[in-house]
Chains A and B, each alone.
Chain A
Amino acid sequence: MSNEKFEKEKQIDSPEPTSSSPVVPKKTGRLLPLLCLLFAVGVLTAIWWISQNLSSMANVPKPDFTTANSNVALATAQLLKAVEDKPNSADAWGEYGEILMAHEWNSEALICFDQAAKLNPKEMRWPYLAAILLDRQEPILALAKYDIAKELASGYAPLWMRRGNTLLGLNRTDEAESSFKKAFEADKNQPFPLIALARIAGIREDWKNATELLEQAKNIAPKNREVLVELTRSRMLLGVNPMLGQAEQSAILSGQRYETIPDEIYSAINEREVAARFAAMQADSAAAKGDLQAAAEGYVELIKQRPEMVRPRLNLASVFLQSGQAPLALTTLKEAVQLFPEDARAHYAYSYALEGSQQLEAARREREEAVRLKPDFAEAHFALAISAERDGDIDQAIQSYRLAIQSDARLARAHLGLGLALQKQGKLEQAVAAMDAAVRLSPGDPVPKGYLDKAKALLEKNRP
């Protein structure tokens, strides 16, 4: 039956079967190689896929955790495990790369970003972060990565800025200029592309164009220090009045670091950082904002993490003092001095806590210890001078004020203290000189100016 059917089907399939007809063998001859080819391709693909994944697995970079901070090691190991669990996940690789980058395991991070980019070639973050890692050491390789990233996210202004700077570093000025123009097209609210374009104009000594670009940048960011400084310089080099207003003068004098274009992708790396310095930064930030509870908790945690560091204990004591918990501050600092007998800062801070609890002699001894350990500890010399004055020992106070000034010439209150102490001894000329230095160092402060005027008047009066 089945044979009959088969024969029928054959007949249906082959309406004109003839003995000479090679239909059946011919059909088999076409299909078999095709099937074999498909099979072979499938096998090869599978082999390639397996080999790729196996090799990826074999290449998961593992930095030396043995000497790393335990928090860093723990957090990094967790993301390493995520990669091992999901070796085909681009995100797992990328996130592992991010934590490695945050803790300066840069070559290991680079491997991860490359692997993440292979697994997800449509994600721009991975070639972008790889480019950032490379551009301080291998700018040509970095440029190739930036070029991949720009195809994936052509509207991301920081990318064009970084790419432009890399090109500028390679002396490819025209291409850099194009890149900065793209950055400006991508975000016209930022002055940074215009500043960079002005810089290129400066390289070409086209100060007119540079000035115009910087004026345009000033319209966007009128208080940006770099804009104000560069505009002043550009005008000077163009030979026109630099028009130094208050804002320009402040900008020139401030010394503040120039801002850079906000870069969310790069900033996210910092959030991965779990080293003690980051915990310290968070606690410091809480303290600066007045969130003393959070700051105290942060410092306590930090002390647990890094018992060998003195600074968290000093900061914790400072938070206790600010929150009116003087006994706790005293205890913390006493412990700090016992644990770190060689640390001048601990003795100095402890001296103030002791002074606050009216233990004046003990406070003075701590200050003496602080300057013994760090002879250029200006603040401690100053505090010793105050102790000496309180004890009525003006000679000692003068000596300590002088040591404070020798340790830090800009300590205006030490100059003033010296002036007042000298005045007490009737050394009016020297007193005036010292007070004059205090006035020079804090020109807007009426206190030293008032003392100086009085001392000058007294000197004039006493002049024969």
Chain B
Amino acid sequence: MHRLRYLILFLVLAGCSSKLPPGDPTKSTGTDPYQQPCLVDITQLSSLDFVHDPGDLDGFSMPQIMGSGAAFFDIDGDQDLDLLLIGGKQPGAKERAGGDRLYRQEAGGKFADITEWAGIATGGYGMGVAVGDIDNDGDLDFFLTRYGADRLFQNRGDGRFDDITEKAGITNLQWGTAASFFDCDRDGWLDLFIANYVDFYPGSVCEDGSGRRDFCGPESLAGTVGRLYRNLGKPANDSVHSKFEDITVPSGIARRVGKGLGVLCKDFNGDGVMDIFVANDGEENFLWVQYENQMFSNEAILRGVALNRFGEAQANMGVVSEDFNNDGLNDLFVTHLAGEYNTLFQASQVGQFSDRTVAAGLSLSSLPFTGFGVAAADFDHDGDVDLAIANGGVKRGRRAETKDVNAFWSEYAQRNEFYINDGKGGFESQRRLGGSDFTERTEVSRSLIHGDVDNDGDVDFLVTNCAGPARLYRNDFPKLGNWLSISAIDPLLKRSAIGAEIQIQIGKRVITRDLNPSSGYLGCNDMRVHVGLGKAARYDAIRVYWPNGGMEIEEFPGGDSNQAITVKRGSGRILAGDAR
């Protein structure tokens, strides 16, 4: 009887400990720092009322199961993150307005829907978004991919936007998914790559193995080619609008048909020019390596990122690039279908990768899930990059016992995953995270974008769901170290140096990060580069490899941790390359 009492007492205490308010949990929870809720759903608290509307589901139209993306970016220059959420609406119903919503962050961290005021009116079925300052005027513009014609919106400077798609000369009619702005030709103007998915016909009837109606998969549909647009800047006769030129054919991109869902642009082979990684659904990935004059060659298979370690093409969805094992080389992580594991392509040397998923502990735990969105960031500031993954099925499966979704979606619903990095590139799945909503809910999640929403120095994130609410999660992880938030600006271009590689020197250790907001699945992240520093109270130097011009490396002096800093091109010490 006494034993029973102690047991009850113990259980009560254990239950209480999981509800401790945020504070210094390393003191309150003993050895396991993740007993308190580490990711807190603040959607309602933030007045976010967005619910993804996939439209009428009777036809099992394929775009409906692919979900849609979101972007964190500062639309009005007030130094806090605003939010663009891409809607769905009925595929094929081009005359109807899309479901995209733009939210401005206001005092107290509340978000206000300013869609109408901002002039965001779109048709088609919304998919993804890329953000960048296309006209180098100091404000952020954005590009929307759709099932239907894609759209380009130019910022007037105050958070209101004009649709300049036709004026800019962008005409992608295919099913666009991921997109990324990057300076392909190093002329200072941000160019645009769009991944196109499959050639889907509305009204197509697909079925599962037993002959039940289901959403089509990519295997039954033809692939498409991606699109590469070069930004020509503002023509002489139009000082307002940037003009783009379609260089898909001359660049060689049109040589390969794929089924693109994820895009990541960076200099993969260290030659100073930008390359393009495309995650293809059910097919080999592409790694378009740029040689001269925007000529690209697909070298994925020779560089070890086309297939997994078994030589299998997987259903590649979202993609991130970070240095997961702290060896100074950025690796690639790609999310996949249930029955396939998410794949870690670890860099063994610059431009060469090997599938090291199993050794990293990332394989078995991911087998039951279909991963889409992914964020790689140091959530607990211990000096290594952790992983948050948004999951949700694409084919009818066993009905999930959940109240988080309705009966229709319960056959697709899955829970999300979170992995903590052990500092050496080994990962452990954190199932509960102190009862966190993120890993407990069972929904059909898709995009996952990250950024420091509340400007408190850590990385928060947002998850989109098929036919469900977008959920904003506040980072309440117990912090095991210090942090730095870095903005890298080119003053002449008046914008963030998208594509820059940033190295933070702490003693002998060098932490490498990219300034690249377009990663994951259909989304766009905070432009600021967040770095967990571990126990280091100071950093010794910051080196920036600027993405345009020559191979220019500039060093900036060290300073204290736990601050947001801005490094401006031309204000540091030039180590190599062309001094501005």
Residues of A within 8 A of B (CB): 63, 67-72, 102-105, 107, 136-137, 139, 165, 168-171, 195, 199, 202-203, 205, 226, 229-230, 232-233, 236-237, 252-253, 255, 257-258, 275-277, 306, 308-310, 340, 342-345, 373-376, 402-403, 406-410, 415, 437, 440-441
Contact = CB atoms under 8 A, between A and B. Distances in A.
A441 B210 contact: no
B493 interface: no
B427 interface: no
Contacts of B363: 169
A376 B147 CA distance: 10
A262 B334 CA distance: 29
B284 interface: yes
Given A258-B311, A275-B211, A308 B248 contact: no
27 contacts: A63-B210, A72-B211, A103-B210, A168-B310, A169-B363, A199-B309, A229-B302, A230-B311, A252-B301, A255-B256, A255-B284, A258-B307, A258-B311, A276-B211, A310-B205, A342-B203, A344-B203, A373-B92, A373-B202, A374-B201, A375-B94, A376-B173, A406-B172, A408-B225, A409-B225, A415-B249, A441-B254
B358 A376 contact: no
B354 A202 contact: yes
Most chain A CB within 10 A, of B249, B256, B298, B313, is at B249
Contact of B254 (A69, A139, A232, A410): A410
Contacts of B301: 229, 233, 252
B128 interface: no
User: Which of B173, B304, B348 lies at the interface centre, i.e. has the most chain A CB atoms within 10 A of its CB?
Assistant: B173
B226 to A, nearest CB: 9
Contacts of A104: 208-210
Interface string B72-109: 00000000000000000000101000000000000000
Nearest to A402: B171
B173 A407 contact: yes
Contact of A409 (B209, B248, B311): B248
Which DSSP category, helix, strand, loop or mixed, fits chain A's interface? helix
Interface string B257-283: 100000000000000000000000001
Given A103-B211, A136-B367, A168-B309, A441 B201 contact: no
A409 B283 CA distance: 20
Contacts of B211: 68-72, 103, 275-276
Nearest to B228: A409
Contact of A408 (B174, B298, B307, B338): B174
Contact of A309 (B173, B205, B313): B205
B149 interface: yes
Nearest to A140: B364
B29 interface: no
Contacts of A342: 92, 202-203
B527 to A, nearest CB: 30
B368 interface: yes
A335 B371 CA distance: 42
A308 B249 contact: no
A306 B257 CA distance: 31
Nearest to A236: B302
A420 B202 CA distance: 32
A344 B203 CA distance: 9
Contacts of A168: 309-310, 358
Sort A-B residue pairs by CB-CB distance and give the 9 closest, nearest first. Answer: A69-B211, A104-B209, A136-B339, A376-B173, A68-B210, A406-B171, A437-B249, A409-B248, A410-B254
B368 A137 contact: yes
A308 B313 CA distance: 32
B539 interface: no
A275 B207 contact: yes
A410 B173 contact: no
A310 B206 CA distance: 11
Contact of A252 (B148, B224, B302): B302
A410 B248 CA distance: 9
B173 A375 contact: yes
Nearest to B364: A139
Interface of B: 92, 94, 148-149, 171-175, 199, 201-203, 205, 207-212, 224-225, 227, 246, 248-250, 253-257, 283-284, 298, 301-302, 304, 307, 309-313, 338-341, 348, 352, 354, 358-359, 363-364, 367-368, 398
A415 B312 CA distance: 35
Contact of B359 (A139, A171, A344): A171
B174 A72 contact: no
Given A374-B201, A408-B225, A257 B313 contact: yes
Contacts of A67: 210, 212
B209 A403 contact: no
A427 B38 CA distance: 64
Contacts of A136: 339-340, 367
Contacts of B202: 342-344, 373-374
A71 B212 CA distance: 12
Contacts of A255: 256, 283-284
B250 A440 contact: yes
A338 B171 CA distance: 32
A205 B203 contact: no
Contacts of A407: 173-174
Nearest to B302: A233
A440 B249 CA distance: 7
A375 B149 contact: yes
B304 A72 contact: no
Contact of A340 (B203, B249, B339): B203
A409 B201 contact: no
Given A169-B310, A258-B312, A406-B173, 17 more contacts: A69-B212, A139-B364, A171-B358, A199-B311, A226-B311, A229-B302, A236-B302, A237-B352, A252-B301, A255-B256, A275-B207, A276-B211, A342-B203, A343-B203, A375-B94, A375-B149, A441-B249
B365 to A, nearest CB: 12
Given A72-B210, A203-B354, A376 B201 contact: no
Contact of B209 (A71, A102, A232, A257): A102
Contact of B207 (A69, A70, A236, A440): A69
A237 B284 CA distance: 21
Nearest to B176: A376
Nearest to B359: A171
Given A169-B358, A233-B302, A342-B202, A195 B210 contact: no
Contacts of B207: 69, 275-277
A413 B407 CA distance: 48
B155 to A, nearest CB: 25
A211 to B, nearest CB: 14
Given A72-B211, A403-B173, A410-B225, A233 B304 contact: yes
Given A168-B358, A375-B148, A275 B210 contact: yes
Contacts of B338: 137
A413 to B, nearest CB: 13
Nearest to B249: A437
A373 B204 CA distance: 13
Nearest to B147: A376
A344 B202 CA distance: 8
A137 B257 contact: no
A252 B299 CA distance: 8
A301 B66 CA distance: 33
Contacts of B149: 375
Residue from B199, B211, B254, B363 whose CB has the most chain A CB atoms within 10 Å = B211
A7 B171 CA distance: 115
B171 to A, nearest CB: 4
Given A136-B339, A255-B256, A103 B209 contact: yes
A455 to B, nearest CB: 17
A343 B367 CA distance: 37
A34 B310 CA distance: 60
A137 B313 contact: no
B388 to A, nearest CB: 23
